[in-house]
Structure 1
Amino acid sequence: MSTTSTANRGIVVFSGGSAANNLVDVFSSLRESKNCSLSYIIPISDNGGSSSELIRMFGGPGIGDVRSRLVRLIPDSPPNSERAAIKALFNHRLAADAAAARVEWLDIVDGTSEIWRAVTPAKKELIRSFFNLLNLEILKRARPPSSTFDFTSASVGNLFLTGARLFSGSFESAIYLLGSICGVPSDTVRVIPAINSHFSHHISASLADGTVIVGQNSISHPSEATASQPRPGSRCPSLPLADGVTDVQDTNNTNGSTITYEDHDDHPPGALPTLRQKSIQFSKTDNEDLASRITRIWYINAYGQEIAPPANPRVLDSLQDSQAIIYSIGSLYTSLIPSLILRGVGQAIVNSPARHKILILNGSLDRESGPPSNPLTATNFVEAITRAGEESRGRTHLPIPASPTSTEQAQPPLDPTLPYSSYVTHVLHLDGPGTPQVDRDSLAEMGIETLRLYGRKIVSAAESPLGMMYDSTALTQALEMVLGRKGDAMLRGGEKNGLSRRNTLDPGRQW
């Protein structure tokens, strides 16, 4: 255990990619106020979008969320500065048309693209060297016309990270290089992949009705109808099923029936074709609802068999030297749980010197929050986090209780054997249309304190409420207060200090 004083121990944030990117400034302000390090723990199980094509061609981890966070951490700069140009480069996506995307990629590789205009020659040639290496590897692996790389909507940042990983043989070395080029201060802010691996790691989910869904993209964002579909033929290699699970379903199959596959040379022996599709495209806003709640997440190997990979040692080191652990907003089962079920994580959280373990509850319900008729509550979020941590410790292998005949039921009773407050001590939440229900009495019974914040409504084009959005000022104040800075005077003096009611915490909070 580190001898670092409690005040200067770090803050650890478990999160995914895009949703938590909106809170980066909040976490940066918190880090500065506590004068400590900040570690982001990011899962690597993403297998959709730009990552899917890189995984199909090169294997390796899902890198999209890591790249997204690194680029988001680039300090703000004037529009025409080199730093702004670097940010635009690594955030850039190639054209949605395959032919146009390939031409655009070649312009970037040979250095003639306008995207290089504000980048200095030295940095340009450094970055280009990895693009050229990746391009050579793409050409070596291509077997036209049956197998070629699809540049459609590819993320340039993901392409760079892959080139750097192939060059160094190390994912973390590639992350360090990208962070250095982007000017991310690695001595104070760290982006840590949950698993340090040169290989792909995929997840599966079981639903309360017995369905098993394979692959993160199918769990969180099912592919659009235009995405490649598995071909009928021989049955997919069977997966180990959880208790009560009766079948395996791939949600890319639009009619909901069991998918079968035929063997094909594109897929090495044992590789599940559903995880090797070409350029999986998806929508984050237009997804069909799950038929019932997710009950469990686990990792699988290329044969579909369950595995229990260990966590990145740097994750465990960060947890063992932390003053606070934060579970950020994002998809519960594909952004948070994949990091929490890794071997060693649960024990590290329970044994962490962190006195505060804070869940920032989502401001809206997504596909993973269960069917609209029976969405997850704040209590369910805490239950899922606790069970994931306990499974990481090898203490339980049981899904959240659900009736075998009806998933639309009242909340199951709390499990008195689960150490809820060892994983979550505080829940910060919003209250408004589209937000998860918060049962303060139930959370208090679990030993968890709640704090309600004011936020802004999110509305659709039709002016219908979609949920709530955290106000950065209010969230920063809440986190500082929980961690012991500024205190309750902030609540009592909000109006006097010039803060509007919308930007202050709820003075009627329950502790």
Structure 2
Amino acid sequence: MNEVVQSKGIVIFSGGSAANSLVDVFTSLTETKKCSLSYVIPISDNGGSSSELIRVFGGPGIGDVRSRLVRLIPENADGDDGQDVHKAAIKAFFNHRLSNDKQKARLEWLDIVEARDELWTNISTSRKELIRSFLNFLNLEIVKRIRPSSAFNFSTASIGNLFLTGARIFTGSFESAIYLLSTICSVPAQISVLPAINTNHTHHISAGLSNGLTIVGQNAISHPSIPTSLPESTLSLSHETYAHDSIEDANLPGSLPSLRKPNIAFSKTDEEDLPARIERIWYINPYGQEIRPPANPKVLEALDAAHTVIYSIGSLYTSIVPSLILRDVGATLASPRIRHKILILNSTNDRETGPSSNPYTAVDFVAAIARAAAESRGLDKAPEPEEYKMYVTHVIHLEGPGTPNVEKARLADLGIETVRLYGRTGEGKGLRYDEKALLQALEVIVGKRDGRRDWNRRNTEA
């Protein structure tokens, strides 16, 4: 985009895969408003192949950051080579996962670092050798860390995650690693991908349920897995901790065993209910003690310069809330300088917004966001309902089978506007947002379109 970008911008709070489906909408909104766009991404994910990177190297959960950067590769803007085939090759390369067979994955990895794999086809020599230098650096670090009790498991590893890890370790800076991948992916200059915490350390979260149970680690909160709540028996916890302490890896001695599991497998489709509603999310150190980390200063700068904040679709308590509870985020969100604070409501309730016998309504979603922001501010009590509009001014939602109930009159009483959209049947269960209708709704709210005169009545309804 060659036009001058306004100082005011748009900030999107999101996780990875779900919000990726709306990236084109947000990019189009930015272009019509001629402003900057910042994605705030949490770094607390400890599932899948990320758990093995964290176990061996420490550092933040980087999968969602990598996913967003690769999704932002432009489809209609030439890179250095001037051909779309090169951009497609870069996208396929960084999204590629190695075999789930441990030995096959290791051999595939060696073919990649030695430039024999066909994934390199159509990637320019300049980019190929730059990428390969960081992968070879990481390979050396992996070899150096091999111990009789511990070796890196390449199964299902994401090449993009391996690259980001190598770049982070080489430069000593997560921010620099993101800049490097962003440059290779030709991400437009007006778009930033900001980790919620700019760190070289691992940050985990815990969830407190209404029945008193505490669940440790993002993966255990978000997806069905072996229970990882704190054991009732101190003896069993000590025994398991002792067993893990005999393994040489990046974990500190005495760290919670539930945070040290390698290659945590999970399912995004077969979800089972949590035993009770989530009441609170907080960050913990490796020993399970609560901590209050600061937000990435660049996140606060983006919020200070924003006219619009959007809470995107995705997992409420593991994609949105971990960014909101960080120090100083809530106070900045509460500022009246940010005119529009828009919640795009999920089309279905999931494991985090159940159980199915008592699913979240739109008011519950808004209340959770307000509680997280108040927590960030260090307030001793949850905000009163009339304070919710400090953090959410609009709710965009779908209506149909399986969608969360939206109490329009109740939200109106709280000073929160609702916009109903007609969705499309998505793959699997539930509806999905129509991109054109969602863009129209966002343009109306932020002021590009002239109120209801520009409103497509077939796609939207207040």
Q: TM-score, normalised by structure 2?
A: 0.92
User: What pairs up with 1:261-340 in 2 under 5 angstroms?
Assistant: 261-263=241-243, 264-266=245-247, 267-340=251-324
Aligned twin of 2:75: 76
Residue 479 of structure 1 deviates from its aligned partner by 0.1
* Structure 2: distance between partners of 1:397 and 1:62: 30
Deviations 1:180-235 (A, max 9, x none): 001002x300000000000000000011111100000000013379x9xx9x9934
* Structure 2: distance between partners of 1:6 and 1:449: 29
Deviations 1:371-396 (A, max 9, x none): 10100110000000001001100113
Q: Of 171, 175, 178, which residue of structure 1 is paired with 2:178?
A: 175
Matched, 1:161 2:164: yes
User: Could you tell me whether the CA contact under 8 Å between 2:386 and 2:414 is conserved in 1?
Assistant: no
Given the superposition, is the C-alpha separation of residues 468 and 480 from structure 1 closer, same or farther in structure 2, using an over 3 Å criterion?
Answer: same
Matched, 1:126 2:151: no
* Structure 2: distance between partners of 1:417 and 1:184: 40
Q: Of 202, 205, 208, which residue of structure 2 is paired with 1:203?
A: 205
* Structure 2: distance between partners of 1:79 and 1:155: 25
Aligned twin of 1:19: 18
User: What pairs up with 1:62-141 in 2 under 5 angstroms?
Assistant: 62-76=61-75, 81-141=85-145
Matched, 1:484 2:447: yes
Deviations 1:163-192 (A, max 9, x none): 00000000010000000001002x300000
- One-letter amino acid of the structure 2 residue matched with residue 298 of structure 1: W
User: Could you tell me whether the CA contact under 8 Å between 1:48 and 1:279 is conserved in 2?
Assistant: yes
Residue 162 of structure 1 deviates from its aligned partner by 0.0
* Structure 2: distance between partners of 1:302 and 1:181: 34
- One-letter amino acid of the structure 2 residue matched with residue 480 of structure 1: E
Q: Of 415, 421, 425, which residue of structure 1 is paired with 2:389?
A: 421
SS of residue paired to 1:81: helix
User: Could you tell me whether the CA contact under 8 Å between 1:362 and 1:435 is conserved in 2?
Assistant: yes
* Structure 2: distance between partners of 1:365 and 1:79: 41
- One-letter amino acid of the structure 1 residue matched with residue 68 of structure 2: R
SS of residue paired to 1:37: strand
- One-letter amino acid of the structure 2 residue matched with residue 195 of structure 1: I
Matched, 1:147 2:115: no
* Structure 2: distance between partners of 1:93 and 1:79: 24
* Structure 1: distance between partners of 2:453 and 2:254: 58
Aligned twin of 1:43: 42
Matched, 1:373 2:357: yes
User: Could you tell me whether the CA contact under 8 Å between 1:10 and 1:36 is conserved in 2?
Assistant: yes
User: Could you tell me whether the CA contact under 8 Å between 1:289 and 1:367 is conserved in 2?
Assistant: yes
User: Could you tell me whether the CA contact under 8 Å between 1:298 and 1:338 is conserved in 2?
Assistant: yes
Residue 322 of structure 1 deviates from its aligned partner by 0.4
Deviations 1:347-399 (A, max 9, x none): 1111252211000000111110111010011000000000100110011356x
Identify, as 1 or 2, the structure richer in helix. Answer: 2
Aligned twin of 1:456: 424
* Identical columns (%): 60
Residue 83 of structure 1 deviates from its aligned partner by 1.4
Residue 417 of structure 1 deviates from its aligned partner by 6.7
Matched, 1:218 2:220: yes
- One-letter amino acid of the structure 2 residue matched with residue 24 of structure 1: V
* Structure 2: distance between partners of 1:132 and 1:477: 46
Given the superposition, is the C-alpha separation of residues 117 and 215 from structure 1 closer, same or farther in structure 2, using an over 3 Å criterion?
Answer: same
Given the superposition, is the C-alpha separation of residues 288 and 417 from structure 1 closer, same or farther in structure 2, using an over 3 Å criterion?
Answer: closer
Residue 441 of structure 1 deviates from its aligned partner by 1.5
SS of residue paired to 1:385: helix
Unaligned stretches of 5+ residues in structure 2:
77-81
Residue 268 of structure 1 deviates from its aligned partner by 2.9
Deviations 1:438-461 (A, max 9, x none): 00111112210101011013464x
- One-letter amino acid of the structure 2 residue matched with residue 284 of structure 1: K
Given the superposition, is the C-alpha separation of residues 430 and 184 from structure 1 closer, same or farther in structure 2, using an over 3 Å criterion?
Answer: same
* Structure 1: distance between partners of 2:299 and 2:237: 34
Q: Of 331, 339, 348, which residue of structure 1 is paired with 2:332?
A: 348
SS of residue paired to 1:363: coil
Q: Of 187, 190, 204, which residue of structure 2 is paired with 1:188?
A: 190
Aligned twin of 2:341: 357
Given the superposition, is the C-alpha separation of residues 18 and 154 from structure 1 closer, same or farther in structure 2, using an over 3 Å criterion?
Answer: same
- One-letter amino acid of the structure 1 residue matched with residue 191 of structure 2: V
- One-letter amino acid of the structure 1 residue matched with residue 170 of structure 2: F
Deviations 1:291-331 (A, max 9, x none): 11100000000110000000000000000000100000000
Q: Of 432, 438, 442, which residue of structure 1 is paired with 2:400?
A: 432
- One-letter amino acid of the structure 2 residue matched with residue 75 of structure 1: P
Aligned twin of 2:79: none
* Structure 1: distance between partners of 2:438 and 2:226: 35
* Structure 1: distance between partners of 2:38 and 2:253: 38
Pairwise CA RMSD = 2.2
* Structure 2: distance between partners of 1:234 and 1:71: 45
Write out the 4+ residue segments of structure 1 that deviate beyond 2 Å after TM superposition. Answer: 5-8, 77-80, 222-225, 232-237, 259-264, 415-418, 457-460, 487-492
Given the superposition, is the C-alpha separation of residues 137 and 233 from structure 1 closer, same or farther in structure 2, using an over 3 Å criterion?
Answer: farther
Deviations 1:397-419 (A, max 9, x none): 56xxxxxxxxxxxxxxxx63762
User: Could you tell me whether the CA contact under 8 Å between 1:6 and 1:323 is conserved in 2?
Assistant: no
* Structure 1: distance between partners of 2:374 and 2:236: 34
- One-letter amino acid of the structure 1 residue matched with residue 412 of structure 2: A
User: What pairs up with 1:218-237 in 2 under 5 angstroms?
Assistant: 218-223=220-225, 234-236=235-237
Aligned twin of 1:387: 371
Aligned twin of 2:460: 505
- One-letter amino acid of the structure 1 residue matched with residue 407 of structure 2: D
Unaligned stretches of 5+ residues in structure 1:
238-258, 399-414, 461-465, 496-500
User: Could you tell me whether the CA contact under 8 Å between 1:321 and 1:352 is conserved in 2?
Assistant: no
